[in-house]
Amino acid sequence: MSASSSIQIARDGDVAVVVLQGEHDLSTADRLRQAIERARDGSTPVVVDLTEATFIDSAVLGVLIAEHERAASNGSAVGYVVGAGAGHSVHRIIDLAGVAAVLPISSDRATALRAIRG
Amino acid sequence: MTADTDQTRSDIAWLGSRLQHLQTLSETLAGARTEHEAIEATLNPGLDVFEADQAVIAMLDESGTEFRIVAVRGYPDQVEADWGMFPNTDEFPLSDAVRTRQPVIVYGPEELIRRYPKLEGTGRSAALVCLPMGDFGGIALGYDREKTFGDAELEFMTAVVRQCSEAIRRTAFDAERGRRAERLALLAEAGAAFAGSLDYRTTLGEVANLAVPAMADCCIVDVLEPTGLHQLATVHVEPGKIARVAELETSYPADPAEPHSAVGGVLRSGEALLVSPVTEEFVRSVTRDEAHRDAVHALGMRSLIIVPLVARGRTLGAITLIYDTSSRLYDEHDLATAASLADRAALAIDNARLHQAQTEIARTLQHGLLPDALPAIPGVEITARYLAAGEGLEVGGDFYDVWLMDGSFGVAIGDVSGKGARAAAMTSLARHTVRVASLHEPTPSRVLRVLNSEILQHRPPDMFCTAAYAHAVPSADGGIDVTIALGGHPPGVIVRHEGVLEQAGELGTLLGVREDVTLTDADFHLAPGEVLVLCTDGVIERRDGGRMLGEEGLAEVLAGVGSGATAESIAIAVERAVMEFASGAPEDDVAIVVVRPTGDAAGLC
């Protein structure tokens, strides 16, 4: 159970931005999956910003990986942002799991938006 | 003194006494806590106020078709027996008064029979006044002497009766409210009791215990089992009656196929049954012979509810609720409560059965994920701990393994994302792949690479795995030389002497997502007494509100264990730190493996 968490969908031009705040774990993983799917709405490029997340667990990583693959398989795009401001444990789990090698992770939103727009 | 003055004095005395009676009536009515008390109050001080010789109070039943006499004063017992119930028509003075909402006044038996021929042979009062009590009943007052009723007198009587009916209505409302609260409390209690019981026989015992006496004098629970219908619980307010109920059941068992079985009928139709009051006709329809009928009569059943136990469309049995010793009768509200109770019980039974099946599956699956016992390795202590998340019902994705190879041994620990049977299958695959690959691959990074390819081939799209694999070779000093690779897994912790900690392994990519992964072999030596601790993320991600145990918390525990601590005591210390960090079971599975060369033996070579 997360103490406090939120998932919001914003818009930056042609890109949907999913913003995570607070703690995200197994209990919110499904909500995150649905939010990303909703933001994608078929083929809209999606940037998921975890900079304001204070905690994520392996279930959340699982969603990030699965959504990246889903995007790749249907020709849409997804990018991730983990800014310097993200919680220590967020940076740490990304380091420990070595997901930087697997997922397109940028250190700020502008870079992620540039990357996703090609 | 003139006659007039006498009359006035007598009037004043009469008025005084009437006021006194009225005051007593008001006080008694105000103090009435039950409907019965309010009715009694209406009759006792009421008779004095009205100066009547006889009185009858009758209430309309819920269907509105019949009146039931609830109280009688001044008439022989026979009247109550003869007139227990009478129809709501204008053929009777009392029902006539209630129907018209007007007082009905009858002077003498002749007029009575002329106006109400059905009362032939019953009239004896010199005067009879019937007054409506709200819309739910009425009072009949009989007078032995000639009496006339002026408008003022009637108005007075109507006002007093209104006061009485308000009191009766209030107490009835209070009683209904009390019963509603009782029903709600019962259901709440049932919810709690059922939630805690995973054995369905226990659950059914709870049903019967909860129902008696709160909503039944007798509760019988029948359950369909592969061998037939079984009476699993019988509870009666009078323990002495349980044997008689059981005896009846033995002689005339409830049978889904028996047309004269009330429970059988409910099981066949799946429909609840409310019989209130129990009639001779009903008893005849559910008994199989004279003896059966006599036995049922002897129990004195007055009101009955039978509700089926249905879960997921399957009828599991039935609950029978009976009022026999008390005077209460069931109504639609009781039926709804009973149905709700049955639904909860059925769900609990279903859950209990499901739980039984699930526990077995979980046990079998978990069995495949974790080794039965760790191999004994001379000169090396190895301890593992596994804590299942939550209820331990769903099979977790954590695994560990320790196995001997030619002159060396392997230690693996890992975590497959997700839970349930799918994750369990992948976990089993991961564990056995590492073991098999370790036999022919030269380095731990190569072993994990094989695991990566294997998962990529078999996994569903949202599943991945983290793993650490260490290969250990005993060294001449009684310690071990270790090579470790990490695939997305938290590094191990080396506990040197004096509590100095080091990281074991270089961070690598998680497995099962990409073909190209970065996996690095890292070498280190453990001298005798030094320790390698490997665990899954459930340890460091243990949270309590906004706090997290973290690698720092784990480090603190390990730095504090002291030199000479055995592998066992270190594993326990870590386990305890996880358990005590927050209340409740961990949110994620936790696996811990501790390796500690002791230097006590020559090793494996």
Domain ranges in chain B are 3-174, 197-353, 370-597
Lowest mean pLDDT among B59-63, B201-205, B412-416, B543-547: B201-205
The predicted structure's pLDDT at residue B532: 97
The answer to whether the CB of B517 falls within 8 A of the CB of B485 is no
Name residues whose C-beta falls within 8 Å of residue B133's C-beta, 6 or more positions apart in sequence: B57, B98, B139, B161, B162, B164, B165, B168
The complex's ipTM works out to 0.86
* Average pLDDT score over residue span B480-507: 95
Asked if B415's CB is within 8 angstroms of A58's CB, the reply is: yes
pLDDT by residue (tens digit) across A45-92? 999 999 999 999 888 998 999 899 889 888 889 999 999 989 888 999
Q: Which fold has domain B370-597?
A: Phosphatase 2c; domain 1 (3.60.40)
Which chain A residues are within 8 Å of B417, Cβ to Cβ?
58-59, 61-62
From CA B113, how far away is CA B122, in angstroms rounded?
9
Q: Which residues of B406-438 are buried (b: 16+ CB within 10 A; e: fewer)?
A: eebbbbbbbbbbbbeebbbbbbbbbbebbbebb
> Within 13 A of A61's CA, how many CA atoms are on the CB side?
34
CATH class of B197-353: alpha beta
Q: Residue B311 CB: number of other CB atoms within 10 A?
A: 19
pLDDT in tens, A107-117: 999 999 999 98
Handedness of CA B84, B88, B92, B95 (dihedral sign): positive
* A64 contacts on B by Cβ (under 8 Å): none
Most confidently predicted of B13-22, B198-207, B299-308: B299-308
Q: What is the structure's pLDDT at B191?
A: 61
What tokens appear for B24 in the block? 């007593």
> Residue B395's pLDDT is what?
60
Task: Inform me whether the pLDDT recorded for B198 exceeds 60.
Answer: no
DSSP H helical ranges for B397-534: 420-440, 444-458
Question: In this predicted model, which residue has the larger pLDDT, B484 or B153?
Answer: B484
Instruction: Indicate the pairing of strand A105-106 with strand A78-81.
Output: parallel
Question: What does the domain layout of chain A look like in residue ranges?
Answer: 1-83
With beta carbons less than 8 A apart as the criterion, state whether B70 and B39 touch. Answer: yes
Q: Return the closest-CA partner of residue B414 out of B429, B393, B394, B404.
A: B429
* H or E element at residue A115: helix A109-117
C-alpha–C-alpha distance, residues B563 and B331, integer Å:
74
Q: How many CB pairs under 8 A join A and B?
A: 78
In whole angstroms, what is the distance from residue B188 CA to residue A93 CA?
43
Looking at the complex, report in whole angstroms how far the Cα of residue A79 sits from the nearest Cα belonging to chain B: 16
Fold classification of B3-174 (topology level): Beta-Lactamase (3.30.450)
Residue of B461, B541, B588 lying closest to A69 (CB–CB) = B461
Q: What percent of chain B has pLDDT over 70?
A: 87
Q: Mean pLDDT score of chain B, rounded to an integer?
A: 83
Give residue A2's pLDDT band: very low, low, confident or very high (50, 70, 90). very low
Q: Do A58 and B489 touch (CB under 8 A)?
A: no
| CA B94 to mean position of chain CA atoms | 47
**Quick check: B556 pLDDT over 80?**
yes
CA pair distance B149, B134, nearest whole angstrom: 21
Coil vs helix vs strand at B479: coil
**In sequence order, what are the residues at sequence separation of 6 or more whose Cβ sits closer than 8 angstroms to the Cβ of residue B117?**
B91
Task: Name the residue with higher pLDDT: B440 or B20.
Answer: B440
Average pLDDT over residues B239-253: 81
CB contact at 8 A, B223 and B316? yes
Find which of B359-368, B429-438, B501-510 is predicted with most confidence, using mean pLDDT: B501-510
Of B7 and B379, more confident: B379
- Say yes or no for a CB contact (<8 Å) between B417 and A58: yes
B11's CB contacts (< 8 A; 6+ apart) are: none
Smallest Cβ distance to A66: which of B462, B517, B550? B462
| B592 pLDDT above the threshold of 60 | yes
CATH topology of domain A1-83: Transcription Regulator spoIIAA (3.30.750)
Nearest CA-CA distance, residue A110 and chain B, Å: 26
Collect all residues with Cβ–Cβ distance below 8 Å to A80 and sequence separation of at least 6: A47, A48, A49, A50, A64, A68, A103, A104, A105, A106, A112
Interface test with B, best of A58, A89, A102 (most B CBs within 10 A): A58
The answer to whether B464 contacts A65, with C-beta atoms less than 8 Å apart, is yes
Phi first, then psi, for residue B177 (nearest 5°) are: -65, -40
Q: According to the per-residue pLDDT averaged within each range, which of B41-50, B151-160, B487-496 is highest?
A: B487-496
| Angle between helical axes of B420-440 and B332-369 (0-180°, round to 10) | 0
Cα B519 to Cα B324: distance, rounded to the nearest angstrom: 78
Write out chain A residues lying below 8 Å of B541, CB-based: 55, 57, 89, 93
What is the rounded CA–CA span in Å between residue B275 and residue B292?
Answer: 18
CA separation for the pair B503, B533 (Å, rounded): 10
The DSSP H or E segment spanning A101 is: none
* Yes or no, beta carbons of B509 and A58 under 8 Å apart: no
Q: Do domains B197-353 and B370-597 have the same CATH topology?
A: no
Q: Do A62 and B550 touch (CB under 8 A)?
A: no
CB pair distance less than 8 Å for B537 and A61: no
Give the tokens for residue B402: 């320790």
Residue B450 pLDDT > 80, yes or no? yes
Residue B183's pLDDT band (cuts 50, 70, 90): low
Comparing B213 with B141, which gets the higher pLDDT? B141
The confidence score (pLDDT) of residue B568 equals 92
Longest dimension (CA), chain A: 38
Among the residue ranges A114-118, B1-5, B337-341, B451-455, the one predicted with the least confidence is B1-5
Whole-number Å distance between alpha carbons of B84 and B29: 25
pLDDT of B361 higher than 60: no
DSSP state of B377: B
Torsion of CA B99, B101, B102, B105, to 10 degrees: 50
> Mean pLDDT over residues B155-172, rounded?
82
Residue B411: pLDDT band with limits 50, 70, 90: very high
pLDDT confidence bin for B79, thresholds 50/70/90: low
What is the mean pLDDT of the segment spanning B56-78? Answer: 81
B175 against B398, higher pLDDT: B398
Is B416 within 8 Å of B589 (Cβ atoms)? no
Report pLDDT for B195: 54
What pLDDT does B245 receive? Answer: 82
- Write down the residue that tokens 């029903």 correspond to: B183
For B250-279, what is the mean pLDDT? 85
CB nearest to B488's CB, from A23, A55, A98? A98
**Distance from C-alpha of B538 to C-alpha of A57, rounded to nearest angstrom:** 9
What is the reported pLDDT for A1?
A: 41
Contacts of B16 (CB under 8 A, 6+ apart): none
